[in-house]
Structure 1
Amino acid sequence: MVQRFRTCILLTGLLLFCLLKLIAQDQKIADSLYVIYRQGHLKGINKLELLLNLSYNTSDTKKSLKYANELIEAAEVYKNDQFLYRGYSQKGQTFRLSGDLTYALEALFKAREVAARIKDKSFEGGAYLTIADVYSESGNSENAEIYYTKSINLLKKTKDTITLIAALLNAGDDSFHNNKLNKALGYFKESETILKKIDYPIGKAYNSGNLGMVYASSGKDELAEYHINEALNILEKLEDHNAISDYLTFMSDIYVRRNDFKAALSYAKRSLNLSTRNKMKEQISRANLTLSEVYEKAGNPDLSLSHYKAYIANRDSIINIENVQQLADLRTNYEISKKQTEVDLLKQTKKNQRFLTIIIGVGLLLMALFAFSWYRRYLFIKKTNLIIEKEKDRSEQAFSELQATQAQLIQQEKLASLGQLTAGIAHEIKNPLNFVNNFSDFSIKLTEEAMDELQKTDSNPHTEEVKVILSDISVNLKKIHEHGTRANNIVSSMLLHSRGGSGKREPTDLNTLLKEYVNLCFLGMRAAKNPIQVEIKMNLDDNIYEVHLNKEEFSRVIINVCNNAFDAMRSKKMAENDENYLPTLTITTKKEKNFVLLIIEDNGPGIPANIRDKIFQPFFTTKKGTEGTGLGLSITHDIIKGHNAELNVESSEGKGTSFIIRIPD
């Protein structure tokens, strides 16, 4: 059906391309013009017009070529390039209609050369259009597309709207028949836009029909039906019965795809009635073929056969030649017999199909039962696997918790053992250390009293020497007392470290604990030697409620880290003596996916990179004299580890230090 319509569109494009105002070849006109031609009186432009009309209206291709060649010769004599162009164009069209496409292209390319020479874009675009049509008819779609594009681009620069529409229609038709539906739709949409601006009913009708073909091939039957009906309405007013008949059969094809055989038969019958009334044999033949196909799909083989016979009879009458009429009759009988055999075979096939349907139905039922049984087994296995997977996850989780508990117990045992050992050692050291400190302190007082007594008596000549000795003894005793005090602090820290807690962790409000002990550290710092003003910023996450902690132990962590921060900021304040420097301690908590994040950050001098790895070692300190014991961060590290938490340090020299603690949630 689509191929039949293609011929109609191409012929329409050809007629649109012809720049003559004639509608079709008319042999009667040619005969009348031939009388004038024989007289040989016409000269100049009149002779050129006579030869052009003779070539166009003559149905004999040989005579048409003769007149076209004479037109070319006369145009060259009179140096009339416009008629020279028309002569080559008419020659190319004649070769094209006779099937000599190579000679047709040769003549048409010469026509294009003439048009280019005279710079007539309308003529040149028309030549490219006909060249593209020839390539399209020969099946060379690639070249056809090239020359359609050239034609359209040139014609857009002219006022020759009719030829431009023809180029768009034929380019779209070529794309459509090469299954380039989107490209075809683009051409027809562009043509539709132009047609809205001009009064050209026949062009609008064919364009709507083309759009219908594209939409039908794209499965958009509603749009296809709308556009084809629009084309039919216009064509009925123009009484273009050939195109109407073709579109009606095309509508029938649409309804066949929808399995609406009633509507399909209605359109096909309308096509047959219209073509019969107007004695259009080609359309009668096509309508009968369509009816045969519809009846066959609708399950009426008898009427299908009847219309197929009518199709064969009409087809043969179209190509009827007296010398082969008998052969045509034989062919008709053979094809009818063949069709009858096909009908019989179709009936037998339907019987076989019914039997096969029963067999397939039974097979499908058995397969369904098997599939149902398999599906139930699959669900059972899936459910069992889910249970196993859940138990596996629970076991793995329990094992992980057991490992964590075991590690914690081991750590607690280590700490307890170390604590007992440390406590014993510290206790043994502390007693003699107390004697050293006490007697050194008492001896300092005695030397001071002796110095006072010597001041009162000047009679002894060795008084000055004794004073010097007593002064040296006093200095030495002070050093003994100072280092004894430091040793006492270390022992006290060791006892604190060894004391430990119960190891039991309970739900604890971390934010409240931080507020309490950070404030306690701040007040302690303010009451101690060399206090400084510190701004404390609390960025606490309200989504954190309770965290499992050993409150007693974790409070030591807060105190140790905050005291270190205060000491660091004090040292920076005293070293830089910068009035603009404001010591700041920032406490941040944040709820993460599987843990709680605690950050204690100061803006002190930072920790040098070369000692950053040593700060958690016991007894390591950077503080002078008796200010530090070197156990604070070591204790902090052990407590954090005992909570299965992580402790990391980030520091930038001159900018500050951050202690980052990740506590399991």
Structure 2
Amino acid sequence: MHCYMQVKCLLFATLLMLSTVADIHAQKLNLDSLKQLLPVVSDSARYELYIKLSEETPNDSALYFADQAQQVAIKLGSKSGVARSLRAFGDYHYAQASFEGALEYYDKARLLYESDNNLSGMAEISKRMAFIQRTQGRYAEALEYAFQALKNYEKLEETRSVGDMLRFIGFVYNDQENEKSAMEYFRKALKVAEELDDELSKAITLRSLSELLDKQGNSAQALEYAAKALAIMQELGDAWDVATSNRYLGRIYHNRQDYDIAIDYYKKALAAFEKLGDKQAEVNTRRFLAESYYAQRRYELAIAQAEKAYEIADEIGMQKGIKETARTLADIYDAQGNARRALMFYRKYVEMKDLLLSSEVQSSIANLQTKLAVEEKAQRIKALELERSQQTLLRNSIIAGSVLFFAIVLLVFSSYRAKQQQNTRLQHALKQLRETRAQLISAQKIASVGKLATGMAHELQHPLHSVYRLTEFSKQLLASLKTDIQTTEITDERKIHLQATLERLEQHAEETLQHSAHATALIKSVLEYSSLRASETTDANLNALIADTLKASYRMWQDKYSDFEVVLSVELSERLGSLKLSSQEIRYVLFNLFNNSFDAMHEKQKKLAAADYKPELRVVSRVQNKMVEICVRDNGIGIAPELKEKVFLPFFTTKPTSARHTGLGLSAAHEIIKGYRGEITIESKPGEWTEVLIKLPVEHNEETLS
């Protein structure tokens, strides 16, 4: 007994030491002594030891201890214990950069934590899944998990964790270039850090704020925040954070065009990263240093740093670093006049850009498949648990004896009926899950094509602009040649021939300008529509959107045609409240509909040239059969029956192709409305009227019908 008490005391002291270690310079745990305790302690204590050993043991041994912890947790009947062991499996895969494997284990742990209503476990899992989603570039999913973690930490009143998640959310918004939201959450995180007197969190947040302020052109406050962050990091004595703060200051001074100061800070950061052996940080710092040398036209120094950065990035397989450094080298060699090297690195940049895009798409699809597979397994587990509980109930009822015969028969019948109904519901849920899976994978593929189209549109803008400018310049040269021909001493016949040739060339140049303008408009339309898909869904007042968009569209047409007057009839239902939608997307749809109506009425007014024709536009909003309806009716030229089915096709237009008519407006509007599970239809009588009807479901917005 005395020996047993000594063992218990030793175990208590060891666990107390493990639970209170916070200083990164604490003495390493004696793993061998922990292993010696395993055979002589209780199951609950043995579970805690296995978990700690899985966290502290390097390499594949961690998997063994996590598995042993899971077996003990199953024996104890602890759902949260099993979930914690699954989390240990996920942590191992995360450390090995096997993100899909980590997500699979985290998702299983999440389901168990939820069934056990363990807020702390749910928060930790959501935080880890958010980190992985951000690493993989899936920002919408990262924000979803981050807000789940934030909500649970707030319920638990874990203020330090709340501050960490606020800062993380700011990082994700910054990755998406949503500077307004990023600034909001960074400032919230800074407030929490100041309340806790957490100098490290305060410095990291100040550093992030300095980057945002620098992007917004507020370099003075950016420098102030970055300098404060550096001072705190120097006081804390963490070499990596000091180096990172120096690099932030270098970027700010570079953007201020104070290149000498920027170079000094970069050199300090580079020396520290080399000493620490952080290759990724060294790649980025050398590339920034090369950019500052390049800005000073010190090309040889710039090439030396960029080439070294490229070499290290290639050595460690840092694909993003290879891509960015290749682009920097292409710019430097191009400025130096070395066209061959510039072309070589530009091709490498394009190759890596395509590779990263393809990898991101494949990773997203794989993640969706994994997530859906886990959900299917969870459904099957629930069905098996229900069936087992029903069988137990049936067996116990039979043992009760013949006295309860009629009650048993009734119970069996009820149980059987419930089981059949449950099976039917499960089959229906499984069918819906599979359909959703197919839709999600299809949507991901479409999104990847959209990204590719947006990238191509960006790349095409510059050559089109060059074509347009060169054609204008050619027209000027042709005009100059025509003048020169008049003063040149040549035969009249030769003059007439040359002038005719120049006139044909001028005509060709004018056609080229028109086609270039149309192509530029198409690219602009593609980019505008692509930007709509990233817009946020909020509670929006639909009536206010209709009224504001109609007013803006009509003002635009009156500015263009001062004599164009339209009788506006607007009937907006007071039953409409707020709808969950993207204001930017719906405004885009309405703006296209109103512009088409004004265009049709203006065209009819020009054709008739009659004083008795009065353009009229009627706009109505209403609620019918749990659907919000928006009706737009004009008395313009109408649409021919054979063209009505084609109006929603991309690039289809009844107008001559020009910079104003690209044929993308109604197509984009149709896709947006479909995205809300709504519908858009067109009815028309040629020469008299056209009516467009939009229907949006409101089953999840019941307050709209109040």
Bigger CA radius of gyration: 1
TM-score computed with the length of structure 2 as normaliser: 0.38
TM-score computed with the length of structure 1 as normaliser: 0.41
